[in-house]
């Protein structure tokens, strides 16, 4: 099994238009989004290894913030997670796997985490 590098950005709080019920569909809701992306990596990281051998964490953050389309309502948070996965895969061909965890903050009553985790593997061309 080849080595891989996991980049992680956790606990981003993002306002997203999402929801099924009428009280959810007209205003953005706060979501806590965490992303883990597995990358191919070189055999070693030397002290002077350039950033191009890895990936900027800011690219993962952008996938969960700036890359989400403004004004688009996602019925399910699964759709939000899918969009984030697609954005990360498109941004770098070395990405092998993306995991997106989303917690719906507005429905927690006692600090519990209610949400989903979507894991996507890069599809190999057929």
Q: Domain-by-domain residue ranges, the chain?
A: 4-121
Residue 122 has pLDDT above 80, yes or no: yes
Q: Is 27 exposed, middle or buried (0-12, 13-18, 19+ CB in 10 A)?
A: exposed
pLDDT at 24 over 80: no
Helix axes 57-64, 77-91, angle to 10 degrees: 150
Please list the alpha-helical segments (H only) found in 1-126.
57-64, 77-91
For 81, the token pair is 């997670």
Whole-model pTM: value is 0.91
Beta bridge partners of 97: 38, 121
pLDDT at 125 exceeding the cut of 70:
no
**Which CATH architecture is the domain 4-121 placed in?**
2-Layer Sandwich (3.30)
What is the C-alpha separation between 105 and 81, in angstroms, rounded? 15
pLDDT at 109 over 90: no
């Amino acid at each position: 099994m080849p080595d891989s590098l996991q980049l992680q950005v956790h606990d981003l709080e993002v306002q997203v238009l999402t929801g099924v019920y009428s009280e959810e569909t007209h205003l953005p809701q706060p979501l806590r989004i965490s992303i883990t992306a597995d990358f191919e990596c070189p055999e070693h990281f030397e002290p002077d290894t350039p950033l191009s051998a890895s990936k900027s964490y800011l690219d993962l953050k952008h996938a969960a913030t700036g890359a989400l389309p403004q004004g688009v309502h996602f019925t399910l948070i699964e759709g939000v997670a899918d969009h984030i996965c697609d954005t990360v895969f498109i941004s770098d061909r070395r990405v092998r796997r993306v995991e997106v965890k989303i917690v719906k903050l507005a429905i927690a009553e006692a600090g519990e985490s209610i949400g989903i985790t979507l894991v996507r593997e890069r599809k190999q061309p057929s």
